[in-house]
Amino acid sequence: MSTDNIFYTRLRTLSHKLGKSLNQVEKELGYPRNSLNNYKNHQMPSGVRLMEIADYFKVTPDYLLGKSNSMQIESVNEIFEELSPKQKIEMYDLCKDWLNEVVAS
């Protein structure tokens, strides 16, 4: 994907996935009308607004900016909970071994 206008492209794609227009998203975020459309002209959001938009869509700021193709924010606990009991034991052992190596070096 071209980084030419990636923020706006991803913003529109995410809003369409939710079945919402940018104006609906603006309203839900409490932004002035057409404020999200201003990003079409290569303007970039402030850090605060970037975080608000990322939180709204449940994606990373890096995804919105085109620095990453990973959309999801998953905590270690969420990932761990999806593992089978056997996988949890294996992961525990791997982490324990890794920690022992780090402490030893």
* Predicted confidence (pLDDT) per residue in 69-85, tens digit: 877 666 677 778 888 99
Scanning the chain, the segments in alpha helix (DSSP H) are 6-17, 22-29, 47-57, 61-65, 76-81, 85-104
Each residue's pLDDT tens digit, 43-70:
889 999 999 999 999 898 989 998 888 7
Interatomic CA distance for residues 105 and 100, integer angstroms: 9
pTM above 0.85, yes or no: no
Tell whether 10 and 39 lie within a shared domain: yes
pLDDT at 8 over 60: yes
- Is residue 1 in some structural domain? no
Q: Does 60 lie in the same domain as 90?
A: no
* Segment holding 23, helix H or strand E: helix 22-29
7: tokens are: 């923020």
In this structure, the answer to whether residues 94 and 57 fall within a common structural domain is no
Domain that holds residue 89: 74-105
Let me know whether 23 and 48 are in one domain: yes
Count of C-beta atoms within a 10 Å radius of residue 74? 10
Are 34 and 57 in a shared domain?
yes
Residue 44 included in any domain: yes
10 with 48, same domain: the answer is: yes
82 lies in the same domain as 44: no
The four Cα atoms 45, 47, 50, 51 give a dihedral, to 10 degrees, of: -170
Same domain, 56 and 89: no
Q: What total number of domains does the chain contain?
A: 2
Tokens found for residue 49: 């607004």
